[in-house]
Chain A
């Protein structure tokens, strides 16, 4: 799913200029964010339920936007995990804010260069996640899925 979303985001960002381009670019930014969100959801489902398991969709649906952003910001702040996970967490934090502006802020200015940067960020984030060692990927999805209770 996330590969298709990423491809769609690229198409939207690269399209020629016309009357609806500003709206297309907003969709590019939003779609790039959702590509990353679904990539993390799929990673969580693969790690915690296993591909093909009946619980796969249930785990996939568990990821929450705000919780994921807060934990990604914490990971970036701690600097404890590997570079691939930190890159993924950093881009998620950035795209979380950009997606909200793209979807809800009517005065937000988006240009082809900015939308392209968001697509590149989502691509780099997904690569960073998938290129990371398996134990770090598992630790990452546990952190973004589950809140710490004291």
Chain B
């Protein structure tokens, strides 16, 4: 009788799974490199679900120096490399950054006020 084929099965990640230590360190290092200049620190990394019930990884970042102006575009782009790190380490859920600012956080406005400069779309004639 022929040997039974080997079935490879990778179980889905569960919310109770621990965050791999290597990923935890990589995310903290990436946050430090990207927004450490603003006095930001990783407050928590946890699994949870989003509004649609999909499993996600949430990285909570606290900004403790409201006197240092943050660049909104740098903050906005932070999700992207962290998400790449999570996917590269085998995470399947979407990573979201939760930025915690104080109300009096100073903001650098150069990017926010920038116009796109493209032409308006035309509706059908």
Instruction: Please give the residue numbers on chain A whose beta carbons come within 8 Å of chain B beta carbons, in ascending order.
Output: 1-3, 6, 10, 13-14, 17, 42, 46, 51-54, 56-57, 66, 73, 76-77, 79, 86-87, 90-91, 93-94, 97, 100-101, 104-105, 109, 111-114, 116-121, 123-124, 126-127, 130
Interface size range of chain B in the complex: 35 or more
Given that A3-B116, A120-B112 are contacting pairs, would A111 and B102 also be in contact in the complex, using a CB cutoff of 8 Å?
A: yes
Contact A113 B125 (CB under 8 A): no
**Closest Cβ neighbor of B75 among chain A residues:** A117
Which stretch in B9-17, B20-28, B92-100 binds the other chain? B92-100
B84 within 8 A of A: yes
A-B contact count (CB 8 A): 118
B94→A73 contact, CB < 8 A? yes
- Residues of A near B87 (CB, < 8 A) are 76-77
Of A90, A117, A118, A126, most B-chain CB atoms within 10 Å: A117
- Among A1, A66, A86, A124, contact of B121 (Cβ-Cβ < 8 Å): A1
Known: A114-B99, A130-B116. A120 touches B121 (CB 8 A): no
Q: Is A13's CB under 8 angstroms from B112's CB?
A: yes
Contact A117–B99 (Cβ < 8 Å)? yes
Pairwise interchain contact A54-B124, C-beta atoms closer than 8 A: yes
Please judge, given known A-B contacts A90-B83, A94-B96, A126-B116, whether A119 and B72 are in contact too, CB under 8 Å.
yes
Within 8 A of A (CB), among B93-125: 94, 96-97, 99-103, 105, 107, 109, 111-114, 116, 118, 120-125
Q: List 13 A-B contacts (CB under 8 A).
A: A1-B121, A10-B113, A14-B112, A46-B121, A51-B121, A56-B123, A57-B123, A66-B52, A90-B83, A111-B101, A121-B73, A124-B73, A124-B77
Shortest CB-to-CB span from B48 to chain A, Å, is: 11
* Chain B residues close to A by CB (< 8 Å): 50-52, 56, 63, 70, 72-73, 75-77, 79-80, 83-84, 87, 94, 96-97, 99-103, 105, 107, 109, 111-114, 116, 118, 120-125
Contact A90 B79 (CB under 8 A): yes
CA distance A138 to B56 in the complex (A): 29
Q: Tell me, rounded to whole Å, the shortest Cβ–Cβ distance linking A133 to chain B.
A: 16
